[in-house]
Amino acid sequence: MCKLRPMGSFTANAMLDRMPCLPLVCATTLFLTSLSGCASSPQKGEEARHNANRVKAEFLHAWHGYERYAWGHDALKPLSRTAHDWYGESLLMTPVDALDTLILLGCSDEAYKTRELIATKLSLDRDVYVKNFEITIRLLGGLLSSYQLTGDPRLLRLAQDLGQRLLPAFNSPTGLPYVFVNLRSGKVRDPITNPAETGTLLLEFGTLSKLTRNPIFYQKAKRALVETFKRRSPLGLVGSSINVETGQWLDPDSHISGGIDSYYEYLWKCWLLFGDKDCLAMWRASIPAVNRYLADETSASLWYGHANMGTGARTATTYGALDAFFPALLALSGDLDRAGQLQASSFRMWSLYDIEPELINYRTMQVVAKGYHLRPEIIESAYYLEHFTHHPAYLDMGDKMFHDFVRFCRTDAGYAALDSVVTKEKRDEMESFVLAETFKYFYLLFAPDKTLDFDKVVFNTEAHPLRRTW
């Protein structure tokens, strides 16, 4: 059982009654289990049901803002009520990223309309250089997950087309992928990358291989993961920046934050989804070093900071919104004790300004980067911890975070990031992961456990549930 540390003014409620049914109307599905009169969840009660409905209503508010002001574009700018396309022309980033959330939340009309938009309008034959990592986790992951949820073969065909167009990214001397690849010509550029970008590809490329029975995708992404791992230091740590042509590290700073984070996530999750023993071995060879050199206990709190990959010496005592994914990964891999402690720290960080700063110094508890990008990681971790411990503290944590999220970030057209958690000044940004991840994890945290069979899916790093259907 996880030990929860005191969480300031946060008070946990008593365990609530059995969960009444929450109506869900879902499309054809392979792993939603609550289609006809959902089963009750003994851990979640009336308040959680109420919160799940609130989350769904707010998700739809944001979605309808996108529909009204940015339909067919990559993203909504929620203050100016205009559209934004990442590469000057749309790759339907928000629709593809959000489709499985629409399905999971039972928004069947919106899901149908979105699926038709994607199936009839998404063209990947574009003369644009795209970021291999972002397109893989958002578009490829989204297409594969929605294909598994709907069985619509058009989505798998798009995923296959996209996978083929991304493959040239791996044509470096080391097998580590270039940062950018041109979707039409296959030309590549930008050899300086990081472990998150080289090692967060196998869940999506591997699933594509399994579903199309073409091993090439698995092989390329697995090699990139292994080549990253092979370059770990004798201590077992990886750095922040690497050249894919030489295989040399350019920055020895090691951490679990953005740029490395999901590399660790995929070591464990690729073992879970594919039963790949090499991934398990790489996880086992890595995680002790992370817990030894990056974990930092300060005045009864657990944090994870930065260290030099070669010496293990502490280089920074910063932790932030992106690091907050780690309790979920610790919980998923069985370390509920550390997971609970670290989640309590993340929640302390959130509670400093009643919304989450991008980065703090956990020694001084001063904000280092004051933006809030509507990130999902801390909510993802609350969801995983609630799932594994059934501790009502995580529902209460989610209740407070959702309340703050709505209070400070809601706009007439959707949800807006904050320029500053101190002043709460908004910025004109609503990334596609807000609909793919943030709302999805809020919803799953409160919804009946059987809304989605947690044990049958592995979420990619963009919250797209993938299932071993092969």
Q: Could you tell me which stretch among 186-194, 219-227, 268-276, 373-381 binds ligand DMJ (CB under 6 A)?
A: 373-381
Tokens read off for 155: 């989505």
Nearest distance in Å: CB 9, ligand DMJ = 26
Handedness of CA 75, 460, 102, 404 (dihedral sign): negative
Nearest distance in Å: CB 174, ligand DMJ = 23
**Of residues 22 and 130, the one with the C-beta less far from ligand DMJ:** 130
Tokens read off for 207: 């699933």
Nearest distance in Å: CB 140, ligand DMJ = 13
| Near ligand DMJ by CB under 6 A: residue from 205, 394, 415, 433 | 433
Q: Kindly state the helix (H) or strand (E) to which residue 296 belongs, with its residue range.
A: strand 295-298
How far apart are alpha carbons 62 and 413 in whole angstroms?
7
In the numeric block, the tokens 């959707």 are attached to 414
How far apart are alpha carbons 283 and 421 in whole angstroms?
35
Q: In 3-state terms, what secondary structure has residue 180?
A: strand
How far apart are alpha carbons 91 and 356 in whole angstroms?
30
Annotation marks residue 67 as catalytic: no
How many alpha carbons lie under 13 Å from residue 282 in its C-beta half-sphere? 27
Q: Could you tell me which stretch among 283-291, 369-377, 400-408, 418-426 binds ligand DMJ (CB under 6 A)?
A: 369-377
- Which of 67, 134, 278, 354 is an active site residue? 134
Q: Could you tell me which stretch among 16-24, 26-34, 282-290, 370-378 binds ligand DMJ (CB under 6 A)?
A: 370-378
**Of residues 208 and 417, the one with the C-beta less far from ligand DMJ:** 417
Rounded to 5°, angle at Cα 113 from 109 and 114: 115
Rounded to 5°, angle at Cα 187 from 181 and 192: 55
| Near ligand DMJ by CB under 6 A: residue from 306, 375, 391, 426 | 375
**Of residues 375 and 440, the one with the C-beta less far from ligand DMJ:** 375
Tokens read off for 336: 């509920």
Nearest distance in Å: CB 438, ligand DMJ = 8
What is the total count of residues that contact ligand DMJ (CB under 6 A)?
Answer: 10
Q: What is the DSSP letter of 415?
A: B
| Near ligand DMJ by CB under 6 A: residue from 43, 101, 254, 461 | 461
Cα radius of gyration (the chain): 21
Annotation marks residue 58 as catalytic: no
Per CB under 6 A, 350 contacts ligand DMJ: no
Alpha-carbon dihedral of residues 141, 145, 147, 148, nearest 10 degrees?
140
Annotation marks residue 110 as catalytic: no
| Near ligand DMJ by CB under 6 A: residue from 303, 394, 462, 465 | 462
**Of residues 204 and 253, the one with the C-beta less far from ligand DMJ:** 204
Give the contacts of 399 (CB within 8 A, at least 6 positions apart).
Answer: 47, 51
Number of residues assigned to the chain: 470
Q: Could you tell me which stretch among 1-9, 151-159, 361-369, 374-382 binds ligand DMJ (CB under 6 A)?
A: 374-382
Q: Could you tell me which stretch among 24-32, 179-187, 372-380, 407-415 binds ligand DMJ (CB under 6 A)?
A: 372-380
**Contacting ligand DMJ within 18-77 (CB under 6 A):** none
How far apart are alpha carbons 414 and 317 in whole angstroms?
34
Nearest distance in Å: CB 436, ligand DMJ = 8
How would DSSP label each residue in 355-373?
S--SEEETTTTEEEE--B-
Q: Could you tell me which stretch among 54-62, 214-222, 361-369, 375-383 binds ligand DMJ (CB under 6 A)?
A: 375-383
**Contacting ligand DMJ within 253-272 (CB under 6 A):** 262
- Which of 197, 253, 358, 429 is an active site residue? 358
Annotation marks residue 97 as catalytic: no
Write each residue from 133 to 172 as x if it is in contact with ligand DMJ (CB under 6 A), else as -, in one continuous string: ----x-----------------------------------
**Of residues 283 and 312, the one with the C-beta less far from ligand DMJ:** 283
In the numeric block, the tokens 């992951």 are attached to 141
Give the contacts of 269 (CB within 8 A, at least 6 positions apart).
Answer: 203, 332, 458, 459, 460
Q: Which residues are catalytic?
A: 134, 261, 358, 377
What is the binding site for ligand DMJ (CB under 6 A)? 137, 262, 322, 375-377, 433, 437, 461-462
